[in-house]
Amino acid sequence: MQPTQKSTVRRRFSQSELNLMMDAHERFVTRRPGGRCVCLRYVDLSGLDLSGRNLSDADFAGSIMAGCNMAGVRLERASLFGCDMREANLSGAVMARADLRGVSLRGANVTCADLTCADFREGQIGLADRKSGLSMLRHDGSEGGLDKANFAGSTLDGSQLNDVSACAADFTDCSMKGANLAGANLKDANLYGADLEGVEVAGANLENARLTNAVLTGVDVRRARNTLGADLSGSISAPSPQAMARVDEMKARATANHNWCETGGASGTPARFDGEDLRPLERQLRGLRLSAMSAKAACLMGIDLSDAQLQGANFEGADLRSVDLRRADLRGAKLLGANLTRADLRGAILSPVPLSAGRANPVNAAGARLCYAQVQEADLRGALLDEADLRGADFTGARLDGASLNGAKAMHAVGLPKG
């Protein structure tokens, strides 16, 4: 007998009932007395508030969670198989390794979420039925599981998205390294600036998809089923053979800059890397003294500059996405229009560099992109961040005394002064 499609009547929970169960689950995950793992399968939780709760390993399979406020919820390894989560707010949610097979997230807000190794593949729930023997649970109008969902700034590394429908979904600035998009329908999707390194796109529909400035290292777009109208302008592939062949030369220039700093200018010279692709250097610049280095419009994406001395360095218009600048000294650096999306600036120094008595040169990052960057505990005193894009960045513990933020975009940014 062929299975039939049917809706099912679910028990409706109140907010107070749900709160009691979530309290018990949080005691369970923290191993406190009275704890109990949440198992709310095939129930109706639509419109309820689960924000900020720790529901790791909970089971919500087949439940309706449409319109729920789930901002900042922890759902690691949780079972959300077949859930209806349309229009839900999952901003900042942690859902690493969650089972999201057959889920409907149509129109949901999933910005800045952690979906590492989450499973979005197709799936249907079969329920016993006395008449038909087996019926398929469905949610009315839930076709197109990820259509029009907003994942901007989220992490989907290693996630399983094969064969999903994500028409007109927003994956702007997402990290999707090693994700599986084979057979996925990404028609009209926005993947601007997304890091798609090593992604499988065999059989995917990329019709009219926006892949502007996307990272396509190790991606064979020719394997996609349809690329008609796809915008690949500014996308980045692997470093060219010419760039790879010049590793020793570029390292020598960096070493000369280091020696120039060490000897007070007696030997060596400041390095000039304007327009260069420095990605082949990877970790070879870590901890070097590179003061006054010029890397205007250069590509330094993903390289390690942690603990480097970069006072007065010029990074105007440079691609610094995902660069490691932890504890780097960037006093007086020029970062006008630079792209620091997802950069790690934890503990970095971006305060003015003293020039002479009473004079100092501030960091100029006007118009720079620091979307989803980690800027915790950084020193940004006096920095010029006018018109900068700071959406989703974390400035927790950062020093911002005297920083100029005129016209900066700060939606979902954390740790910035109000106003």
Helices (H), 129-288: 241-245, 247-262
Cα separation, 157 vs 117, whole angstroms: 6
pLDDT of residue 226: 97
27 contacts 157 by C-beta, under 8 angstroms: no
Long-range contacts of 301-304, Cβ-Cβ distance < 8 Å, separation of 24 or more: 301/215, 301/236, 303/278, 303/279
pLDDT of residue 411: 87
Tokens representing 227 are 């690329």
**Better pLDDT: 232 or 358:** 232
Q: Is the pTM of this model over 0.95?
A: no
DSSP collapsed to 3 states, 62-128 = CCECCCCECCCCECCCCECCCCECCCCECCCCECCCCECCCCECCCCECCCCECCCCECCCCCEEEE
Q: CA 362 → CA 36, 111, 205, 267, 347, distances in Å?
A: 54, 32, 47, 27, 17
CATH topology of domain 239-419: Pectate Lyase C-like (2.160.20)
Amino acid at 47: G
Tokens representing 45 are 């939780």
Instruction: Name the average pLDDT for the chain.
Output: 93
63 phi-psi bin (left φ>0, alpha ψ -120 to 50, beta other)? beta
221 contacts 227 by C-beta, under 8 angstroms: yes
pLDDT of residue 418: 75
Q: Provide CB contacts within 8 A for 266, sequence distance 6+.
A: none
**Section 102-123 average pLDDT:** 94
pLDDT digits (tens, 9 = 90+) for 166-181: 999 999 999 999 999 9
Cα separation, 231 vs 245, whole angstroms: 30
What is the b/e burial string over 101-117, where b = at least 16 CB atoms within 10 angstroms of the residue's CB? bbbbbbbbbbbbbbbbb
